[in-house]
Homo-oligomer: A and B are copies of this chain.
Amino acid sequence: MELNERMKTILTAVLHRYITTAEPVSSSIIAKKYKLNLSTATIRHEMNLLEKHDYLWQPHTSSGRIPTDKGYRLYVDNLMKKSHLKENEKKRIIQIYQKSKEFEETMRTTSQLLSKLTNNIGVVLGPHILNNSIKHIQFISVGNNRILVVIITNTGLVCQKLINISGEITKNTLNYLSNFINSKLIEKDIDLINLNNILRDELDKILSFQESFNYIHNFIEECFNLRDFSDKVYLDGRINIITQPEFKETNKLNYILSFIEEENALANTIRKYLGFKQTKIIIGRENKQKEIQNCSLVARKYTIKGKPAGAIGILGPTRMDYPRMISIVEYISDKLSDILSEF
């Protein structure tokens, strides 16, 4: 059913009030603070209807109202006005970014910025190696038939993995291999899958006469096994959750924080939104994970040279200032995209 204008106004007022105070909103507060020129009785009447339609609820019969997830959803989709960061806030962000010169530092700065600006948990999903082009590969023998593979991408992302080989590969062969591969990479924009395809054809030909061919073949196969490459997660602001009034009871807190502690859990949630063009907002019970069904998530992808690379997000109580959260997430993801594209 469609709400009339007055109901929308009242719902919006309740939302704004509740977001700032975290306390049930009464009809008289609305009448007083939001000059709607309506009596408390009328407002009560409308609130009653809003409750019947599941946009509001009451903790007990004689208390004020609190928005439901459905209420927040309507607000986010239809009622709220988009907000924009102030110019000096934007400047601050740029200034802070300028201090971090290096890839890792930039990612850490991003999660810190997110958590500090929003007073919520900030999370950044590092770019996956797949979304980068490869700049350099180095093989280093570390004894016991183990080889450390270090791959460096154009953005300065350094990935490493250790490979156990069944036989022996000499240092000369390793050098030969890395030289050969690096020669393919010079001045070219080749990603990991591309590279693998190129190598699969060429290397086999070159190496087929080698004695240790099988070892080398297996080694290279494992080297490009995508499963082992995980994107890094940067998380900040866990404390922010603790100070929120809705999580005063330690058992609720516990529940959320055990979800957060497992960094990958949040990362996996956010990873889904890498393909979305727009900012994604997931409210309360819309979250599939039970642990964060009292929370909302605002997530957005970032890009490197136009290509989706990773995602950032914030996690906080459903009672959050959505317009501001969205504007922060969007501004930061844009800036991060710019910075990473320049690297």
Copies in the complex: 2
Q: How far is the CB of A131 from chain B (nearest CB, A)?
A: 17
Give the segment of A157-165, A197-205, A315-323 that binds chain B. Answer: A157-165
Given contacts A102-B162, A242-B250, A250-B242, contact A152 B136 (CB under 8 A): no
| Chain B residues, Cβ within 8 Å of A148 | 102, 152, 156, 158
Interface size of A in residues (CB-CB distance below 8 Å): 38
Which of B101, B150, B248, B254 is A243 in contact with, Cβ under 8 Å?
Answer: B254
In-complex Cβ contact of A343 among B143, B236, B238, B254 (8 A):
B143
CB of A22 closer than 8 Å to a CB of B: no
CB-CB under 8 A from A237, the residues of chain B are: 261
Main SS of chain A's interface residues? mixed
Interface core residue of A239, A243, A250, A254 (most chain B CB under 10 Å): A239
**Would you call A104 an interface residue if the criterion is a C-beta within 8 Å of the partner chain's C-beta atoms?**
yes
Select A250's contact among B138, B162, B250, beta carbons within 8 Å. B250
Given the complex, which residues of B lie within 8 Å of A1, measured CB to CB? Answer: none
State the A residues within 8 Å of B (CB): 101-104, 135-136, 138, 140, 142-144, 146, 148, 150, 152, 154-156, 158, 160-162, 164, 236-239, 242-243, 248, 250, 253-254, 257-258, 261, 342-343
